[in-house]
Amino acid sequence: MPAAGKCLCGRIQYTLEQQGPGLDVCHCKNCQRQSGAAFVPFLATPLAALQVAGSPKTFMDDETESGKTVARHFCGDCGSHLYVTVEAAPNTAYVAVGTLDDTHDLRPECHGWTASKQEWIQILDSATQHEFEPHLQPESTVTG
């Protein structure tokens, strides 16, 4: 069943194929800076199954801690951080979960880059934690 989401102003709307409840929570400084939040939970979906209506802007973030370029797609009108794509997993989109309509089934599966986690955040769930890159294999995870 497809899940749906949109940016704050509603000019960009999307649907995606939800593969499961697991979120990849990113504590890297660049995600903090782009979102203005302490961390960003992402839901991985096959890029081909993400249907976007509207025209997100894209920032090619090539000053990442991993050294890999992250394409950050956002609404140019309201600034919502919508999804990212990464070089290492070109067929996967990571959707910023705050923009999804329904999030009640979702749970953290993995926390990445906890070395740059904000001090006051205490991770109380049982998801795996990685101080640096989470070593995800998103393509195989997503496609089964």
Q: Which one, 28 or 93, has the nearer CB to Zn ion?
A: 28
Q: Which one, 28 or 100, has the nearer CB to Zn ion?
A: 28
How near is the Cβ of 3 to Zn ion at its closest, in Å?
Answer: 18
* Sequence-ordered strand ranges (E) for 81-135: 81-86, 89-96, 107-112, 128-129
Applying CB under 5 A, the residues found at the interface with Zn ion are 7, 9, 11, 26, 28, 31, 75, 77-78
Residue with tokens 């400084």: 29
Q: Which one, 9 or 144, has the nearer CB to Zn ion?
A: 9
Residue with tokens 């749970």: 107
Q: CA–CA separation, 31 vs 122, rounded Å?
A: 18
How near is the Cβ of 79 to Zn ion at its closest, in Å?
Answer: 7
